[in-house]
Structures are given as C-alpha cells and as structure tokens.
Structure 1
Amino acid sequence: MTSHETALPAIASAQRMDQCVDQRVDQRVGALDWRRIEQDLDQYGCATVPQLITPHECDALAALYPRDDLYRSRIVMARHGFGRGEYKYFAYPLPRIIGELRGAIYPRLVPVANRWNRAMGIDVRYPQQHADFIRRCHDAGQLRPTPLILQYGEGDYNCLHQDLYGEHVFPLQVAILLSEPGRDFTGGEFVMTEQRPRMQSRAEVVPLAKGDAVVFTVNSRPVQGTRGPYRVNLRHGVSRLRSGHRHTVGIIFHDAA
C-alpha cells in the first residue's frame, strides 16, 4: 500500500468515510474463499464476492459522489462515446476503505495474474505487494490514481470496454455495487463478453446485490484447449438502467499515464 493510500484524507467528507469502515478490511479480505474465487476466475473470467462491504459503507461511499474535491477528474460518458452516465476518478489520498481494499486484495490476486501470464507466454510478473507494483507504474510515468465511482440514471449504460491506462496493466480488477437492485434501480446488470479465436463471443451477466463485488478480467486470460492454453479477450460494461439510480465503485490496481 502506498503512502498516498494510507494517509488520512484532509477533508471532512473523507474523514467521515473513514469513520464508517465497519470492520478491519484486511480481516474481511483474508476471510474470503479465495480458492473458490480463483476457480471461478479460471473457469469464467470473473468471480463474485458476496457482501464485501456493508450497506452502511455503501451508503457512505455513494454519499461522497457530489464532493468534487475528492476527485481528480469527472467523465461524462456521452461526450466520449462511452455510453451514458458519468464517473469520477478519486484523487490521492484515496478514502481509507478504497485504499485498504486495493492493498489487501491485490496480493491475493497476484498468484492468478502471474500464472495466467505464464500460460499466455507473457514475460511480465507482478510483485507480491501493491506498493511495489504502484512504484513500477509511477517509474513508468503512470502517476494518476484509477479507483473510481460511477453514477447511472434511467436510460444510462456503459459500453463494453477495457480499463488499460498505460503500459503497466494488472490483469484483474474489482467492482462493488453500492445500490440495491429492485429498490434503488432496475436493469443495469454487470455484463462481460469473451471473444474466443474462430468462435462466437460468449456473454456473462453477473447478478450483484448491494455490497457485493465482482473480481474480473481486465483484458485477456488463458483458456485450456485441446492443444494447450490459448488467449481470449474480455470486455465489460453495464446494461441499460430501466429506472432509478445506480452507484458503483471500481478498484483498478494499476495507475494511469
């Protein structure tokens, strides 16, 4: 974890968010069924994590969205052809729960990331600690934090895409749903597509409840074929909201150029 991420936020809203962390993040991450998560990642390219954060923490994070002083930039998707809706990238220092989740989840995913790269013939290997990987990003000029919060309203959607941001890319990331399906919004499902060589693409719709997370592939992963592993490319997005409002937090482990 970087010194940026462990520093206490300077403004009152972020301080209130720090006070809303209901349980030690490293403890809850350590208690997850990582064997099952790894198996699902290998089989499907994604894995759900029920109730990674509490409803209280979800509400506190969503309440930060109007506070522009917490963010380095705001993106209106329609202006760039990304879909409809908007999102904001957090500035350093990150809210405590986001920084701690980023630092605690990353080491659990490093074995999967390194094993996948070996299978795909990619020479890159990832260090065990997130601070060391962030140092690698920063040394290459990828200095801007990438954790973000997304906001959707009725009719909004997110086109299929990949979150790459530079030369150094960690191949897995996390999204956490902050809103309650069926109460706060309808529609708005998390969607992935997998493009397989000489085959039609496969779609995966991932149902989530408030506080649930999905760990998923950023760009490519290996699939075992009859002649050995081959590479498939994945994209992710969000289907159209039928009604209401939806907030999501995204935790990306590499920083941006």
Structure 2
Amino acid sequence: MNAPSIIPAVPAVRSAEERVGRLDWPALAAELDGHGCAVLSKLLTPAECAAIAALYPQEAHFRSHVHMARHGFGQGEYRYFRYPLPDLVGGMRTALYPHLAPIANAWNGRMGEATRYPAEHAAFLTLCREAGQTRPTPLLLQYGAGDFNCLHQDLYGDLAFPIQVAILLSEPGRDFTGGEFVLTEQRPRMQSRAEVVPLRQGDAVAFAVHNRPVQGSRGPYRVNLRHGVSRLRSGQRHTVGIIFHDAR
C-alpha cells in the first residue's frame, strides 16, 4: 500500500498562494516582531469555514481525538488531521510557510540560534521526517459552552517551527460568545504581558509558538510565549490550527 501524500494537490496550493500573496506581509512581519502575533484578515470565506468545521464528526479525516479534560489541557476537544490533509488546509499550510520562514530565520539569528529553515515547506517536512517527526499536526478544535484551552505551547519534537497559525471558523456573537484567543509573554524579571486577539469568522492569527526576540537596551533578548482560549460563555466555536512542524 502506498503511503499517503504529505504534499497537497497543486490546484489547492496555487489558490492558497494567490490569496496569501495578496496580504501585506511587511506589515504582518512588523506586527509579529512588535507583539508576537499578527491578524491575517479574511483568510477564508464563510463557506470555506463552514466546510472545514463540518469535517469534525467525520473520523476518516483524522488520526486522533483528544478530550482536553482528560489531560489537564482545559475543556473541549480537538482532532489531529491525518495525511493527506484536506486540500484547503494543506494548501494554506504550504502557501503560508514561505512568508513566515524569513521571519523565523531572522528571529533565530537575533536569538543566537543556529537553526535556519528552508524556503519551501516540503523541504522542511523532509527535515522533520529525518528527525523522526512524521505525524501531521494540523488540527480542528471544537469548544462548547464552558470550554476553554489552557495556556500552552505546541512543541512535538526536537524540531519546531517557531510560528503557527490559527483560523477562526465560527462567527463571534452569532455562533458563540466568549472564547477569545489569548497570548501571554514572559519577559525576564518582568510580569507576564497578555494579548487578547479579536478575530472574526475567517480571520487567522499568526503567532509565536515558543520564543521570540525582543530588542532591549543591551541588544535582543529572548521572551517566552504561551497561547490559549478563554472560557466560552455560550454556543459552539471551531478553529483550525496550522502547525508547520510534524510530530514524533
């Protein structure tokens, strides 16, 4: 039996590349540098959001199902996609990566890290496989009233790409209330800084997975970030997470 493809279909990639290429990447890079996150407005249409959210009960698309409360992660649940990824998810993963890799490389340079990331996602996935990280990490999350996601970092092995993307598939105020995306940043010898990111349906947030550099009076220094979702007050919320490294 042939192994499932980890490379998305060419038409899906081209469509995503056209859409992603229209974004103002210099401004987004400045937001990521300044705040550790940036909003990619209207990345998906409402119809595309609904189509991805509708995959959640279809087990054939997923490799595992996690109930957060069983592991102390919060309340709610999520499923990791299996390869091959749905065309839209795989296309976005492939199209977003080349715009984020230069930012990631600049961050590593400023933090004194030797790791550099290749220009194309396929080459980076080859490095993941060589490191024994072969399981896909894009995931679909589902929250109901009272659910939340504890502050955490999505690190699945020794090789981790330092930026990831989450796309909100539901409409705040109509489909759910509460459930804000939250990012916290811990700087040395300082109290944590919190960032609440407002999103609408189809908006994405790109954010630091683990560390990022901040310019201080004596040069750049490293800060530590975690992300989560605040308690849902009502309704149901779906999000697709695009993580660029694979897991062991």
TM (norm. structure 1) is 0.93
Counterpart residue number, 1:130:
121
Contact 2:42/2:203 (8 A) holds in 1: yes
Structure 1 residue 149 corresponds to structure 2 residue 151: no
Q: Once the 2 structures are TM-superposed, how far is the Cα of residue 6 of structure 1 from its aligned partner?
A: 2.0
Give the AA of the match of 1:198.
R
Aligned residues: 244
> Does residue 1:4 correspond to 2:43, yes or no?
no
* Residue number in structure 2 paired with 1:196: 187
**2:178 matched residue in structure 1:** 187
- Asked whether the 8 Å contact 2:153–2:209 carries over to 1, the reply is yes
1:164 aligns with 2:166: no
1:99 to 90, 115, 122: 90
1:149-177 per-position Cα deviation (integer Å, ceiling 9, x unaligned):
00000000000000010000000000000
Whole-Å Cα distance in 2 between the matches of residues 154 and 118 of structure 1? 43
Instruction: Give the counterpart letter for 1:193 in structure 2.
Output: T
| Corresponding position of 1:15 | none
Residue 3 of structure 1 and its aligned partner are, at CA, apart by 4.1
| CA contact 1:5–1:96 (8 Å) conserved in 2 | no
Q: Distance in 2 between matches of 1:6 and 1:224?
A: 38
| 2:8 partner amino acid | T
For 1:239 and 1:24, the matched residues in 2 are separated by 33
Cα contact 1:75–1:87 (8 A) shared by 2? yes
**Residue in 1 aligned with 2:229?**
238
Consecutive unaligned residues in structure 2, runs of 5 or more:
none
**Secondary structure of 2:7's partner?**
helix
- 2:57, 2:9 → 1: CA distance? 22
Task: Give yes or no for contact 1:151–1:248 (8 Å, CA) kept in 2.
Answer: yes
Task: Quote the Cα distance in structure 2 between the aligned partners of 1:117 and 1:91.
Answer: 30
**Structure 1 counterpart of 2:107, one-letter code:** W
Over the aligned positions, Cα root-mean-square deviation in angstroms equals: 1.4
Q: What's the secondary structure of 1:108's corresponding residue? A: helix
Tell me what 1:14 maps to: none
| Structure 1 gap segments, 5+ residues each | 9-17
**In 2, are the aligned partners of 1:148 and 1:250 still within 8 Å (CA)?**
yes
Residue 32 of structure 1 aligns to a residue in which SS? coil
Deviation at 1:7, TM superposition (A): 5.0
- The alpha carbon displacement at 1:24 in A equals 1.6
Q: What amino acid maps onto 1:183 in structure 2?
A: R
- Please report how far the alpha carbon of residue 25 of structure 1 lies from its aligned counterpart in structure 2 after TM superposition: 1.1
Native 8 Å contact 1:7 1:93 kept in 2: no
- State the partner residue of 1:48: 39
- Following the alignment from structure 1 to structure 2, what is the Cα–Cα distance between the partners of residues 74 and 68? 9
Q: What aligned pairs does 1:30-41 form with structure 2 within 5 A after superposition?
A: 30-41=21-32
Q: Provide the rounded CA distance (Å) in 2 between the counterparts of 1:102 and 1:4.
A: 11
Contact 1:46-1:215 within 8 A present in 2 as well: yes
SS of 1:6's equivalent?
A: coil
Give the TM-score of the pair, scaled to structure 2: 0.96
* Partner SS for 1:116: helix
Q: Does the 8 A contact of 2:186 with 2:225 survive in 1?
A: yes
Amino-acid identity (%)? 66
Which portions of structure 1, spanning 4 or more consecutive aligned residues, are displaced by more than 4 angstroms?
Answer: none
Partner Cα separation in structure 2 for residue 127 and residue 6 of structure 1: 18
